[in-house]
Structure 1
């Protein structure tokens, strides 16, 4: 099981070129990839996106790329001959007008704006892509390893909460029969107090108790909760992404527990329902970060 939180970083270098890839991922409903590249490396975006889509199914992933090219042929310096000549003529004219000697040096001339232009040469795209795939592959392996380690920790935590929830379901099931008995005794006592001189109508009492028992019955909800917990455990052991399925199961657990809480007419059952909702909320929070 994979978490959606992770980090990976790796570099690759060859022939004066070096690429560093940094990956950061957090939880997201879908796979959302945000790539930050220099404009000159825009041709790498599709390669990065395809690689990540093949390895990840969910999460917001930020991709940072650093690139260095220290090769001698990486840049060109261009002399603007026309502009240099214009500056030279302007300097000579200034010397003539001022009556001063022209002491212009070559260093003065080439220091003028736009006389020399530094430009990047077009990259060897295949060479850069090869470096990218090496660095990206290593960074992705590191990211997945971290997501896997976090996922294993989360799985153990989720199993512990599922066990606690199952205990709560068991306690609630044990309390359920006593709710009807308690109601019957209270109702009998109240009817006897109100009808001290009139014989108690046993048939009516039985009908009232039966109506109450049907209205507050939670056997079906408890059975479905047990089934959901078992499904939840099984999903945690699957090797494929299960985050969305787990989220659905947790919603169903919450629905059943809400029904139990609404039917509860006994403080002990209500207390167990509150505890159950608390455990389900813990499951829900954790499940949000599972791939």
Structure 2
């Protein structure tokens, strides 16, 4: 099945009681290039997360952004620094006495002072976080693959249409080739007979020259190979796993055969078909650049 290398997916979940959002996007790339953006306390888990992605994807430039925050309804754990609060209170009393003021330090003002109320550091169970995060990442990548599969299906359909057009064009060339060979053979014989009338050429030599010229114009092998390449292309498109590199190599071979056909068949009608063949091959080449 063909997979596109372009896609985006988002997955929201909870990791050890905290909400987490995983956003993953991918674009085409020759190899697999994975980059992460993680909360600071989770950066030590990047290696295992990267291995997970490598097991699930084979090509593409993949960007993964993971954010987390406390789930709704879960109260944050805080701690009152009584020593710091006592220091602020004593300092406020000293200022009141110094300035002969009756304004006392209010509770609201005291709580707002830095360091009086501080979040309590929680001990992280990185092993459990890592396990849950890997499972969540698998789901996110699965959703990404669903998107990539839909686009890959569209790309595969377009490539199949181009292959169908190539079938017709190659058949046209295959039908035209014997006619061209016969016409060229007749012209060559007339030309050689004219020369023979002037300088004299043995019949055996004449037959040899005609045979050599016919062999140079024969495109039977090229047509057989081209049709075999198209059969192979359809087999690759129907196969499981990454297909982009195989298709890219095959397209190069098809283009090589098309160039050989063009050099052998010097005819306006055949040349027109061969130009269209090259155009269809280029369209396929463009499509497969985005296939995994």
Q: In the TM superposition, what whole-angstrom CA distance separates every residue of 1:161-217 from its partner, at most 9, and x where no partner exists?
A: 222212212211221222233334555667889x8x958868576565445434333
Q: Distance in 2 between matches of 1:78 and 1:205?
A: 110
Where does residue 50 of structure 1 map in the other structure?
A: 51
Where does residue 231 of structure 1 map in the other structure?
A: 232
Q: In the TM superposition, what whole-angstrom CA distance separates every residue of 1:75-134 from its partner, at most 9, and x where no partner exists?
A: 44463846x566556545544554444533343344344555446433222342343244
Q: Return closer, same or farther for 1:68/1:113 CA change in 2, 3 Å cut-off.
A: closer
Q: Return closer, same or farther for 1:202/1:119 CA change in 2, 3 Å cut-off.
A: farther
Q: Return closer, same or farther for 1:87/1:187 CA change in 2, 3 Å cut-off.
A: same
Question: Residue 287 of structure 1: CA displacement?
Answer: 1.6
Q: Distance in 2 between matches of 1:180 and 1:15?
A: 77
- Kept in 1, the 8 Å contact 2:251–2:284? The answer is yes
Where does residue 241 of structure 1 map in the other structure?
A: 242
- Kept in 1, the 8 Å contact 2:36–2:65? The answer is yes
Q: Distance in 2 between matches of 1:90 and 1:12?
A: 47
Q: Distance in 2 between matches of 1:45 and 1:22?
A: 15
The aligned runs of 1:22-61 (5 Å cut-off) are 22-61=23-62
Q: Return closer, same or farther for 1:38/1:167 CA change in 2, 3 Å cut-off.
A: same
Q: Return closer, same or farther for 1:85/1:171 CA change in 2, 3 Å cut-off.
A: same
Where does residue 277 of structure 2 map in the other structure?
A: 276
Where does residue 159 of structure 2 map in the other structure?
A: 158
Alpha-carbon RMSD? 3.3
- Kept in 2, the 8 Å contact 1:232–1:249? The answer is yes
Q: Return closer, same or farther for 1:126/1:69 CA change in 2, 3 Å cut-off.
A: farther
- Kept in 1, the 8 Å contact 2:22–2:67? The answer is yes
Where does residue 21 of structure 1 map in the other structure?
A: 22
Give the SS at the match of 2:30.
coil
- Kept in 1, the 8 Å contact 2:15–2:133? The answer is no
70, 78, 81: which one pairs with 1:79?
Answer: 81
Where does residue 2 of structure 1 map in the other structure?
A: 2
Question: Residue 42 of structure 1: CA displacement?
Answer: 1.2
- Kept in 1, the 8 Å contact 2:20–2:69? The answer is yes
Q: Distance in 2 between matches of 1:213 and 1:88?
A: 108
Question: Residue 30 of structure 1: CA displacement?
Answer: 1.6
Equivalent pairs counted in the alignment come to 289
Give the SS at the match of 1:28.
coil
- Kept in 2, the 8 Å contact 1:80–1:114? The answer is no
The aligned runs of 1:159-198 (5 Å cut-off) are 159-186=160-187, 198=198
Give the SS at the match of 1:265.
coil
The aligned runs of 1:109-120 (5 Å cut-off) are 109-114=110-115, 116-118=117-119, 120=121
Q: Return closer, same or farther for 1:182/1:40 CA change in 2, 3 Å cut-off.
A: same
Give the SS at the match of 2:33.
strand
Q: Distance in 2 between matches of 1:97 and 1:155?
A: 83
